[in-house]
Amino acid sequence: MISYHEALDVIRGLAVGRELAGEAVALEEGIGRISACDISSAECIPPFDNSAMDGFAVTASRTRSASVAAPARFRVVGCVAAGDPIFRHDGTPDAAIEIMTGAAMPEGALDAVVKVEDVEILRDSRGKVSEILLRRPLKSRENVRGRGEDFRPGQRALAAGTTIMPEHVMALASLGVARIEVRRQPLVAVVSTGRELVHHAEATLAPGMIRNSTAPYLMTALSRYGARAKYYGAIPDDPGHFIDIMAGILRDAPDVILTTGAVSMGKHDFIGAALEKLGATIRFHKVAIRPGKPLLVADWEKPFPAGPKKKSPVVFGIPGNPVSTAVGLRFFVEPYLRAVAGLPPEKPMRAKITADSTKPEGLRCFFKARMLVSDQGAGVTVLSGQPSFMVSPMLAANAWAVLPEAENQARSGTVVDVYPLHPASSGALHD
Ligand code: AMP
Ligand code: MG
């Protein structure tokens, strides 16, 4: 039996040489995908100086002595709105131009904008705005949004290894980026094992049978993790059946094969032996964790299937209890998917345990937990109902509390690693 950290080292080692290639997609299609390269701005954004307010563009130096008693007076010689070309005026120093938010600043000495609420507007006999009175000085560039103030040419707008969020789409759209290079989505083949399993839609259960809850869980969770998941069905506990289904799976050349069940010590736990029969190498089988201890990872050492460079899929044989399956996905498969996507290891949050919690000594425990951040800081409560068959506590959980191997308890107040139930796609909220 190896430790969790040793298992992670093996998993990250298997990712080397199996990194997902990049592919170009339309910007909007990149949402949720992982960028494969840096993108820098080619332009100044904003592309031109423009007004931050609805108001009047004037020459700031002419307002230096403006006051309530002695207002500065300007003649309004034009009007510009967003989308209008740059206004060219006659150059007289007392000229003002009515300007709307987003309109380009007029050419020449008009270098500040006073908002419409801050001036007195004088109208001519036909009611047209003709002059304004300004009762305070303006600073040069007041209410002006400068060319290049948001992005300068060459400024990095997107780093490789970023999960694309709507905010990235907004930034890249403003830069005119129409296509982006993202990592190919890994294909994950999912197989359930267990003759007791029936499809989850089954209304009634025959004696001894249970519904397959983890296949739908894995398929939906994997799609959230950016993978393409393909389900190959549930097979009885029979190595022959497994070997048959594997032939079809291997033809589809997935990046990962994820099996559930049949990796423990029971009579029908055939996955390890069947994989060896198929020529695979078991990299480890059994990790010092709870739940999910009998977890197995395998691959084929030889180039695969025939091509000189192609590496084999990596097989994760995950125990069948639903919470063991969830832990296997979250703490083994997901780190592998991160590694092949070129992402750094996920950093945990840290929180204080709110009550003494017992645990088996020597095992790293991934416990269903609820984390809350309050005035007292971050606290994490280990939920009751930790057995790996119990799904109902997952409904109250929002996180996994990780209790390290040493000792048989974690005392209230101890600070532990906490991971959100599913990886945060919008970036960590901590260092
Ligand atoms: P196994 O890992 O095959 O020994 O299965 C451990 C326990 O998990 C058994 O009680 C199985 O009935 C149950 N189990 C296995 N696969 C599933 C599944 N897909 N959905 C729900 N329970 C399962
Ligand atoms: Mg089984």
**Test site for ligand 1: of 197, 200, 271, 285, most ligand atoms within 8 A of the Cβ:** 197
Q: What is the pLDDT of residue 169?
A: 98
Q: Is residue 160 classed as helix, strand or coil in its secondary structure? A: coil
The H or E element that residue 298 is part of is strand 296-299
For the Cβ of 254 lying below 6 angstroms from any atom of ligand 1, the answer is no
Query: For the whole model, what pTM was predicted?
Result: 0.91
Q: What is the pLDDT of residue 90?
A: 77
Ligand 1 atom closest to the Cα of residue 264 is: 4
Q: Is 212 in the pocket of ligand 1 (CB under 6 A)?
A: yes
Structure tokens at 83: 């989308």
- Residue 414's nearest CA partner among 368, 351, 367 is 351
Closest CA to 312 of 297, 325, 327, 293: 297
- Residue 32: per-residue pLDDT: 92
Strand partners, 377: 374
pLDDT by 10-residue block (mean), the chain, 431 residues: 98 96 97 96 98 98 96 97 92 93 94 97 96 98 98 97 96 98 97 97 95 98 95 97 95 96 93 96 98 98 65 97 98 97 95 97 98 96 98 98 96 97 71 52
Q: How far apart are CA 201 and CA 210, in angstroms?
A: 11
d(CA 385, CA 396): 11
Q: Is 294 touching ligand 1 by the criterion CB < 6 Å?
A: no
Domains of the chain from N-terminus onward = 4-20+185-340 (3.40.980.10), 50-145 (2.170.190.11), 349-420 (2.40.340.10)
Cα 70–chain centre separation: 57
Q: How many residues does the chain have?
A: 431
Write the residue with the smallest CA distance to atom 10 of ligand 1: 321
pLDDT at position 126 is 95
**What is the whole-number distance in angstroms between the Cα of residue 282 and the centre of ligand 2?**
19
